[in-house]
Amino acid sequence: MTHSIENTHENNKESYMETFQEYDSDTMELADWANGEMFGCRWSPENVSFSFEGLRLTIAQDEKGELTGGEWRTRESFGFGKYEVSMKPIKNTGVVSSFFTYTGPSDGTQWDEIDIEFLGYDTTKVQFNYFINGVGNHEYLYDLGFDASEAFHTYGFEWRNDFITWFVDGEPVHTVTEDIPSTPSKIMMNVWPGTGVDEWLGPYDGTIPLVAEYQQISYLP
């Protein structure tokens, strides 16, 4: 089974797990548009691949020589709970590999978001961030003590109405307790080269293809 959604009796919400063995249009969506601004690519469904080994998101070029990235998301929205991913990010200056929850105007809601982001110029660190009604600037850079691009590790966060705690391999490493987002959100992952944000990501050097790997994601209420 590639994915499962189960009802949990204690709070009548659904748990979710995905191992990415195949594409299921009923439960997931692949982006095929361009965000613009700091995203130096358009999203291409061709840059998202599924297998028994998991999901691969790729930065590449299309037939016109334009840069493309890969983005995956759930169709369903999820609320408070614990979110986890097993992944290996891209190691390359100027790019981002991510796991996050997001909802915004395209979903008919305010912009709320909780992020786990790897900045490819230094994959011995991971950046945590969150947005409430479009207001961010809560970045926290955590030193992992290992190179995340070399092996799969588990990253996640527990999101409640009064706190968010981020985890690395099951250990809590960062907690916030103010201005916590509350809008149910979609689970998302993407990889992309930055443009105009060299001070944050470093300059993208044009290397292609670049691949991030994801083994599994999960949500528990």
Q: What count of other Cβ atoms lies within 10 Å of the Cβ of residue 163?
A: 13
DSSP symbols for 131-200: EBTTB----EEEE-SS-TTSS-EEEEEEEETTEEEEEETTEEEEEE-SS---S-EEEEEEEEEBSS-HHH
Contact (Cβ atoms closer than 8 angstroms) between residue 200 and residue 94: no
| 115/137 Cα distance (integer angstroms) | 12
DSSP symbols for 46-113: GGEEEETTEEEEEEEE-TTS-EEEEEEEEEEEE-SEEEEEEEE---STTEEEEEEEEE-GGGTS--EE
DSSP strand pairing (163-168 vs 153-160)? antiparallel
Q: Give the residue numbers annotated as catalytic, written as ranges.
A: 113, 117
DSSP summary character for residue 120: T
User: Which residue, 128, 161, 164, is CA-closest to 144?
Assistant: 128
DSSP strand pairing (48-51 vs 171-176)? unpaired
Bond prior to 209 in cis (omega within 30° of 0): yes
